[in-house]
Amino acid sequence: MKLVSLFTLLIFSLPISAQNCLNMELENSIFSFWGNISDLVISGNYAYVTTGYSGLQVLDISDPEVFQSVACWDDNPDRAWSVIIEGDYAYVGDVDCGISIIDISDPLELFEVGRLTQRIQYPKLTIAGDYLYVAGTYGVNSGMHIFDVSNPEEPYEVTYCQESRRVRNITILDNYAYASGYNPDDGSSYLHIYNVSDPTNPEHLNEIDYDGYERELIPFGDLAYLSVSNRDQNGFHILDISDRENPELVSIFDTGNGWAYDLVTSGDLLFLREDLPNQDEFVLFDISDLENPVEVNRMENMRGSGRISFHDNFVYARSDLELYTFDFSDLENPVPAGTFSRRGSTVYDVAVSGDLACAARFREDLVFLDISNPVEPELISSIEGSTFFNLIIDESRVFYNTHGSINVVDVSTPENPVNCGLYHSQGHEIPFWNIAVGDDVVLLCADYLRIIDISDLDNIRRASFIYDEIDTDPKGADIQGDYAYVVYSGRDDGGLQVIDITDIEDPVIVGQGNQDCSYLDVVVSGNYAYAYGRRSLDAFDISDPFMPVCVGQVHYEGLRYDYYKWHLELDGDFIYASAHLSGFLVFDISDPENPEIAGHYDTPGSTESVGVSGDIVYAADGNSLGIYRSTLLNTPDIHNNSPNEFGIPGSYPNPFNSRTTINYTLPINGNISLELYNPLGRRITSLYNGFRRAGDHSMTLDGVSMESGLYFVRLSAGNTTATQRIILIK
């Protein structure tokens, strides 16, 4: 056996950063949807929308009744939270990972030009001249931050005002900054006033306290409206700000029902959003007489509308997962105009074996996919349910766990999956970090290691367990022969444990390999076990199971994570590792003593699981099931015979009675939309919206619930469109 000192290990240390892509190419994505919509800005004929992990989305709203998704930027390090537009740039604030500056001079081609890395939680953004004012709502960096963005490619912070804690909004008027927020100690609100004639050295002038929550200040010359909510009143205060340093209360306008949030103005109109327990309301005011606003209309039962914007007589509002518009041409009778939705379910786990893949969609189902064409999976069947964790395909069986149980599904006939086994952990709904499957045994990694006998699927039982009184949790396991290899975290020196499971009723710990690392998963290949941590992948020589020795490491920096489920997938000389907000990593282990990072893709969401089939990697990242091709194997792309033209060659049959197949061709990779319209130009449904690789494609339209008549299929990619007529006859 080889004894290797830690000092003689060849250690690689590589940074992992956003936008990093190495030896991996995006082929396709399915089950795509947006994250929660948090902010909305209108600029020209485009709406810019922040959508959490799925980044900044751009919609063409030249027709307010029919939104078109035309572009996106999704290299955000965390969840895109807020956005503001100034000239040719969009400033996108992340929940807790800084601010990205995006060039939007061409709204169809977005790219990042600069980034501020200060961690400001839930930032709200304001631009004035060459300076970006950022309101920090929570955390140690709450307050008002000022950045010089005169050169968007090299922004930098010029000052940080800590007097104002938990700032919600910042309004700039002349040479003054008004920072509204609240004091978490007593629940009161305040308005801090600064002289920012020199933004690098702001002067704190005044602090005005209020009873309630301040939201937003809108100035109108010498008057201003300040939205305020408390137990006794909801609405806005009218302030005299002729003396910029000492605003005085003129009157209080109580709107009555819910908490007052957004104030949006257009000419003599003011829109206020009220937040009620189960709905929102829009309240419209005539403010031609600023001191005496008059309520014109109130729209009730709005569906969680959140941020609102006004543009060309249309109000644009959002709920968590959709945008919609109202036509206010007739102020007393506004009407709904259009809706855009990217609803879906989080794809958080995936497993692959041969031509079969299964993917878990949160609170929806477990889907089974035919991947004989690996970049164009076809849905075979599904099992409804709420949670499916830690998917493993073992020959003709699929194993997964819910909280506190292990489920076994027979997929010998994937079109008809059948539940064939269940183990429940004695009434304890404990989350399992990972599971490992052997011939007749399953290892459950949770608060302690459970060893489960699955020799009789009708009577799955716990055979034994291993409990460590030290505060450690088994996070991952693998089985090879008579030994189980388990990694732990939760103490200063996480470790690899080797357990003899020849007798599963009486397992014996035979070896221990400790490192100064907290491990998250492990995979075994030959005489080596590879333990995956947040900062390194460690290779252990296990040729002697009684004395595992760390013989190789590859270090990395900057992994961004927000959950605790990690996953390794072994395929030949490569290990594929989920890396959460950093996407996924690929390690080359052809030389176990010198492992290397060979590939990486920073996926749009948070990758919790990966599956591998040849040179294709399937990544479950919450926003979608992404399909990526590895260039490490130099496998020719037999599925990509790119046509020369963009279009819809035809549908068959046409006319059709119940179903027709729509064929379309793409000369280049890109985001496309395929939509169905009636003869009046109204969109009936979206057939597909997302990334497609260049090539020939088809999809089936089911017309069972449609009325007979003429329809139009429209294919769009950027500014290019193609249309085909189809006729349904019943």
Chain centre to alpha carbon of residue 287? 40
DSSP per residue, 242-254: SSTTS-EEEEEEE
Coil vs helix vs strand at 500: strand
CA gap 490, 478 in Å, rounded = 19
Omega prior to 199 cis, within 30 of 0: no
Q: What are the φ/ψ torsions at residue 635 (nearest 5 degrees)?
A: -85, 130
Residue indicated by tokens 């963009």: 646
Count the helices and strands in the chain (H runs, E runs).
Answer: 0, 65
| Domains along the chain with CATH numbers | 344-630 (2.130.10.10), 647-728 (2.60.40.1930)
Q: What pLDDT does residue 12 have?
A: 34
Coil vs helix vs strand at 169: strand
CA distances from 71 to 65, 356, 457, 672 (A): 19, 32, 49, 10
Other beta carbons within 10 angstroms of residue 177's beta carbon come to 26
Other beta carbons within 10 angstroms of residue 462's beta carbon come to 15
Contact 326, 332 (CB under 8 A): no
Q: What pLDDT does residue 342 have?
A: 66
Which regions of the chain are under pLDDT 50? 1-19, 635-640
Contact 473, 446 (CB under 8 A): yes
CA gap 360, 382 in Å, rounded = 10
Q: What are the φ/ψ torsions at residue 8 (nearest 5 degrees)?
A: -95, 0
